[in-house]
Amino acid sequence: MKYLNFKQTVFIVALSLMASCSLKNNVDLSHLDGYWEIKSVTFKDGTKKEYTFSDTVDFLSLTDSVFGIRKKMKPNFSGYFETSKDSERFEIKLENDSVNVYYQTPFDSWKETILKLSESELVVSNKRGAIYSYVRYQPINIE
């Protein structure tokens, strides 16, 4: 019977852990980049606020596999966005089968947990128990 060497054993264990993590959290971060428009917030007490229109969208961009930025963008009718120079840095961490996003600004820091992420939908929760639902931003076509 052939025994595995140390490198082979570490490789197999690491591969198993990565496979089990991706199956448990079921979040594909390749869908995170882009423009997201808020649709609703469900508060801890069950009340829900619907957004039929929002004049800003969130732009999320991963700068590498775990770090990124979020900016508030204001779409205009010419198809471009207005923005300030302000942005929020974030780091993504896999913790206890959850995908958490840690935000950092000079004034504050906070954590959101990604509950759902697809090509068209993003759902996150915060420490106050509020659940934010976003959809992929679609520009308004006035033609």
pLDDT for res 22: 43
* pTM of the entire predicted model: 0.77
Question: Average pLDDT, stretch 51-55?
Answer: 88
Residue 36 burial class via C-beta count within 10 angstroms: exposed 0-12, middle 13-18, buried 19 and up: buried
Which of the pair, 52 or 142, is modelled with greater confidence?
Answer: 52
Q: What domains does the chain contain, in order, with CATH numbers? A: 27-136 (2.40.128.280)
Render pLDDT for 75-108 as a digit per residue (tens, 0 to 9): 877 667 778 778 899 999 999 999 999 998 889 9
5 pLDDT more than 80: no
Q: How far is CA 80 from CA 26, 36, 73, 124, in A?
A: 33, 15, 10, 27
**Both tokens of residue 105?**
């600004």
Averaged pLDDT of the chain: 83
123 pLDDT more than 50: yes
